[in-house]
A = this chain, B = another copy of it.
């Protein structure tokens, strides 16, 4: 079994209102960054997972997103591997 470190990014779908992104956009403009546009805020979830292969780890993470981490109506998700370590027990 290998320990996989994954990053899951959950972001609002295009067209869905994002009040947190709007607030940050506004704050950046107030601070003088007038060339910033289209600010969207999502979640970046890091977790460690034991699995036999990277495909298995990604499949588990996809199931977690579908069941708990993302709202399929309003949010998209992406899964990336960050780094791999091996555990002592096989």
Report A's interface with B, CB cutoff 8 A.
7, 9-11, 21, 24-25, 27-28, 31, 33, 35-51, 60, 64, 67-69
Contacts and interface: CB of A to CB of B under 8 A. Distances in A.
The oligomer's copy count stands at 2
Q: Main SS of chain A's interface residues?
A: strand
**Chain A to chain B: the 3 pairs with minimum beta-carbon distance, closest first:** A44-B44, A35-B50, A42-B44
A89 to B, nearest CB: 12
A71 to B, nearest CB: 14
A42 B39 contact: no
Contacts of A50: 35
Given A24-B68, A28-B68, A41 B39 contact: no
